[in-house]
Amino acid sequence: MAKGRETGPDGSPAGRVLILTAAVGSGHVVAGEALGEELGRAGWEVELRDGLEIMSPVPAERLGGMYVGQVRHLPRPLALLLWTISFRGTADLVRVSVGALFGGRLLEVVRTTSPDLIVSTYPLVTAALGHLRRRGRITVPVAALVTDYGVHPMWVSPALDVHLVASEVSAGMVERAGGKATVVRMPLREGFRRPLSREEARRTLGLPLRVPVALVVGGAWGIGDLAGCVRTVAETRACHVVAVTGRNEVLRRRLQHEYAGRDDVRVVGWTEEMPLLMSAADFLVQNAGGVTCLEAAALGLPVLLYRPIPGHGAINARAMERAGVALWARSAGELEAIIRGRTFERAVHPPSVEWLPAAPDVLSALRANWRRW
């Protein structure tokens, strides 16, 4: 903390924070923005930048497109790659390589902004920051905000001061990879902090009031076998289905054509109404994890995992299942049975239970660690 800085309205240490995100999907950016809002309300001066864009001459949007292409067309090689770099030696090599190649560009921004604290929401940015922190090139505290329950070893940097995670299971994964972790209540966008009642949300959206509503999502890009997932849920005829395809316009048009004759299936593309949709739903069906599951947790919305994408999606599914915050349906028959029997109502505890009332918000966690840093 730089000398002479004021404290925030709640007595917390306030200063300048540099939050580094990446426009690879929307989750990393959304998490960074929500964190910035939370710290800003407490009196911090917030600088929000795309760390991946700073590091790489290749636009983050193009890198994101490459990742989506791998998930859609080469999922198993991607899963193999993630497995290869899950070992301590290979993970260390990747961290050093990323830091040596791209850390200098981040360092220039750090020197320009002169922050009291740096927070990363994206693994490759975290790796570069960890390399700089370990070498003493960055002397202020550096934290990582991990938006998945499942934490791949590559997302951990042992040199960082703390990894902020959503559950004790997540913290254990960080610690086994050599990092330091603190369980927090994750920062969320305004709409998830003040949701409508289910009835209000359904009236607003024009959804049936007396029929269970399933919200089926595949992240910002509509990745994985989202079409197969929608088909399995729709074939139960036991709920009204709202399928969100994100920015996958090809899939949106395909599903709209496929279900044109069904008044119990609604297909939505990219939308800013996820808080409203989640408030209206009885359960969420999804295949990847990340921020969507954290947002569902805030609303106590039961989460059903089905056909998680290979690699980090499967890692997240295992962690959420272990933490008791989701049900993982391993087959179409299992998913159908959960929906028809409405076992999601009693078998899935609201994910917010896992967060525990004692889990601090991010600001409190930073205050608790500040003297140690």
pLDDT digits (tens, 9 = 90+) for 84-129: 777 777 888 888 888 888 888 999 999 999 999 999 999 999 999 9
Position 17 scores a pLDDT of 94
Q: Tell me the C-alpha distance between 144 and 126, whole Å.
A: 6
Residues 6+ apart with CB under 8 A from 357: none
Closest CA to 51 of 39, 63, 68, 38: 63
CATH topology of domain 16-189+358-370: Rossmann fold (3.40.50)
| Structure confidence at residue 1 (pLDDT) | 40
Q: In whole angstroms, give the CA distance from residue 3 to residue 253.
A: 57
Which tokens sit at 136? 């003493």
133-150 residue pLDDT tens: 999 999 999 999 998 899
The predicted pLDDT at position 45 comes to 93
Which residues of the chain have a pLDDT value below 50? Answer: 1-6, 8-10, 350-357
Q: Tell me, what DSSP letter sits at residue 210?
A: S
Establish whether domains 16-189+358-370 and 192-355 are of one fold: yes
How is the beta sheet containing 162-165 ordered, strand by strand? 45-50, 16-21, 117-120, 142-145, 162-165, 181-183
Query: Where exactly are the structural domains of the chain?
Result: 16-189+358-370, 192-355
> What does the DSSP 8-state code read for residue 198?
H
Pick the CATH number of 192-355 from 3.20.20.70, 3.40.50.2000, 3.40.50.970, 3.40.50.300: 3.40.50.2000
Structure tokens, 109: 């921004």
Burial of residue 49 (number of CB atoms within 10 Å: 0-12, 13-18, 19+): middle
